[in-house]
Chains A and B, each alone.
Chain A
Amino acid sequence: MTLIQIALLIMALAVLFYFWRLRSRSRDRFIVTLISLIAIMMILLPNWTTQLAHLLGVGRGTDLLIYLGFVAGGFLCILFYSKDRDIEERMTQLARAVAILHAKLPTSKTNSPQEYLAEHDASLLPSPTTCSLAQDNTRPLDR
């Protein structure tokens, strides 16, 4: 086994380890395991990649990997973009809710919504002492 094979193997196993130990979503695990196994096979049996490339009409196995890499990169771009939009949309909803909740009314001379509400309808205010989490909402970081 050559040095590069050992280095690549370690990296592939590290990725596998990370997803098995630290990520809980089974769909992620499945996809990563599949890709890692293919990667390990390609590292250990370079000729296998070349044969596959020839089969598809590509000159070298390395070239095949470059092409596949581009496709994967483009796919990841779209994935992250759509994830980004999703996050932005949730953030917008949150900011909007905060803005509407703290709206200053034209008749009010006070600055804070708390002062305003206290003046008009104290029942709308949550009392600070009861402010606690009703249940434990914590869950793993990934979703």
Chain B
Amino acid sequence: MNVTVAEIPLHEVYVVIAAYREGSVLATTLAPLIASGYSIVVVDDGSPDNTWSVLQNLPVYALRHPINLGQGAALQTGAEFALSQGAGFIVHFDADGQHNADDIPTLLAPLVEGKADIALGSRFLRRDDANQVPWKRRLMLRTATWVNWLFTGLRLSDAHNGFRAMTGEAARQITIRENRSAHASEILALINRRHLRFVECPTTIIYTAYSRAKGQKGISAFDILFDLLVRRFVR
């Protein structure tokens, strides 16, 4: 019996968002998600700005880390909370508005149809999406996909695309322990280790001046590499 995305109750889909200093754009980012009827979990990662107060007036689950821990830690907190609420599916979504809420059904489809346990968004599966990516970024991401391949055994078309969807069952098996940016690679490593079935789905990235300014600097790639390297040898 085939089930389609249209048939699953949307409130069982938990969109988990890590927010750090996103007070100015959070309401805009959340609006289409709220309108779509998903359950939304926003984890304020100890932001010093008005992120937390913005959340108070929105129909979302809002959690707050008492101290700043990093995006990976915030996503893990959100996922644990979502699972405790009985989430059937968990979607990771960026707070800065660079992901398109309309792409969520695309990611959910292979999960609902039972073809995969986790769906990863990729900017490089459609030419139009790929052309959106500035060339410097493209070069860096290409390198990152190779590094990921080396460390995680997963060869993908995109790296550090924070847009992904997984079944609740898969989410239980993916416990993020990398608090900061290395969590993206850690998730790939866990997919490999737990033998989860994954697919890449085309997603659109909306590069705004805001998300570009907020996004990772090239230099942070070295931090990620350091975390990945050292983590292999030191427990």
Contacts and interface: CB of A to CB of B under 8 A. Distances in A.
Contact of A99 (B56, B59, B66, B234): B66
Interface string B136-179: 00000000000000000000000000000000000000000101
B230 interface: yes
B60 A106 contact: yes
B98 interface: no
Contacts of A58: none
Contacts of A99: 43, 63-66, 77, 81
A57 to B, nearest CB: 29
- Tell me the dominant secondary structure on chain A's binding face: helix
A84 B218 CA distance: 26
Nearest to A86: B235
B235 A96 contact: no
- Tell me the dominant secondary structure on chain B's binding face: mixed
A89 B64 contact: no
A95 to B, nearest CB: 5
A91 B67 contact: yes
Contact of A89 (B56, B63, B177, B234): B177
Interface residues of B, number: 28
B81 A106 contact: no
B185 interface: no
Nearest to B70: A92
Interface string A10-39: 000000000000000000000000000000
A100 interface: yes
A81 B230 contact: yes
Given A98-B66, A100-B63, A105-B61, A82 B235 contact: yes
Interface of A: 78, 81-82, 85, 88-89, 91-92, 95-96, 98-100, 102-107, 111
